[in-house]
Chain A
Amino acid sequence: MKMILRQQHNRRTQKVILIRAGAITLFIGVLVVFNIFNFNPFSRVAHAVASFLWQSEDALSDTLGSVTIAFRDKAALLKENQRLLGELYKNQSLALSNDALRAELTELKFLLGRTTDRPSILASVLSRPVVSPYDTLIIDIGSDTGVHAGDLALVLRDFVVGYVSRVYGSTSQITLYSSPSEQTNILIGEERIPAVAFGRGGGNFIADVPRDARVHEGDIITLANIDTEVFSVVEAVIEEPENAFQRLMFKNPVNIFNVVWVEIVQSDNVTP
């Protein structure tokens, strides 16, 4: 009797295990198929819910910020104000010389028949990489403000960090060039040596160039287009005698974990 009961129990256990294994395989299979066909059926709904929560949080933190400032030490505020004024004067003079150079560059491009004036929209960053392991940003403007997939995302006007990969009604997703699956065409240094930057996550990149190419630490890297958006600066050059290539390591000039604003500019077909 005991034997029969044990056999029945074993059969039942095997059946349960088989059903569970089947369900797991089916679930993983569905996800793999979704991944292969780039199908994410819930993204629109998820963004609608999340953008409401993020914007509510922004409004709440603004209100709290204005309340707490009334209780701050006046002397400390005065000191901070003085420091910020000093920085402002310094940056204003820098901005003036930048504007003069930019105007000159635009004029030269105009003379050569290449105009690069493109409309831009300022956007607030709702979510940044530290919240998710993907190297993506979520911004507070979408198709209702004229954002299109492929538009470039700039930080501090000159540093290009990524491109718009998904557009929703009032939010958009920016994939950073440093995202692990991204490969971006770049030009390195004054000689504008072409290369491909491979994203390594967290704002880091690597690129391989021939050993004969003259690349030094501190060389400026730009995107491979007519504009002069700064992509990065070479931080390390690794040469190995047995390798025909030298490996360059660099990262975003701005800290992507602290980005608060981005400027969205229309892409002139530079999507990577």
Chain B
Amino acid sequence: MIVRILLSLAVVMSILYFPWWMTLILCVILLIRYPAYELIAYGLFADALYAPPSGIQYLFTFTFFLLLCVSFVIKSKIIFYHRT
């Protein structure tokens, strides 16, 4: 649980201070270990901060949502995956 909280904190900090690709890497790490539904909220937070009023406004949310779906599919296919 502590690891999950720390990783989540790292994702939020990376949204504010680090390049976007680092945020993605942290999200993948979080998803490998946990079914992190909270990523959707972080995506909404990032989009609320950075998205311009015109064009695509939910890039982070869509990406995180896609990652979440992909992680569920992959995890269900891997037999030895440790379910948390």
Does B bind A?
A: yes
Q: Give Cα A27 to B53, complex, Å.
A: 20
Q: Is B18 an interface position by the 8 A CB rule? A: yes
Question: Can you report 11 A-B residue pairs in the complex whose CB atoms are below 8 A from each other?
Answer: A28-B62, A34-B57, A34-B58, A35-B56, A43-B49, A132-B20, A134-B52, A165-B52, A165-B53, A175-B54, A181-B55
Contact count band on A? 20 to 34
**Interface pair B53/A38, CB less than 8 Å apart:** yes
Q: Is the interface of B mostly helix, strand, loop or mixed?
A: helix
**Interface pair B54/A181, CB less than 8 Å apart:** yes
Q: How far is the CB of A127 from chain B (nearest CB, A)?
A: 7
Q: Is B34 an interface position by the 8 A CB rule? A: no
Q: How far is the CB of B66 from chain A (nearest CB, A)?
A: 10
**Interface pair B57/A54, CB less than 8 Å apart:** no
Q: How far is the CB of B53 from chain A (nearest CB, A)?
A: 5
CB within 8 A of A40: which of B20, B47, B62? B47
Q: Is B6 an interface position by the 8 A CB rule? A: no
Q: Give Cα A127 to B18, complex, Å.
A: 10
Interface centre among A131, A138, A175, A182 (most CB of B within 10 A): A131
Q: A31-B58, A57-B17 are in contact. Are A50 and B53 (CB under 8 A)?
A: no
**Interface pair A35/B57, CB less than 8 Å apart:** yes
Which A-chain residue is minimally distant from B54 (CB atoms)?
A181
Q: How far is the CB of A183 from chain B (nearest CB, A)?
A: 10
CB within 8 A of A43: which of B17, B48, B55, B61? B48
**Interface pair A134/B44, CB less than 8 Å apart:** no
| Chain A 127-167: CB-based contact to B (< 8 A → 1; otherwise 0) | 10011111110100000000000000000000000000110
**Interface pair A40/B57, CB less than 8 Å apart:** yes
CB within 8 A of B69: which of A24, A34, A38? A24
Q: Give Cα A133 to B44, complex, Å.
A: 14
**Interface pair A134/B48, CB less than 8 Å apart:** no
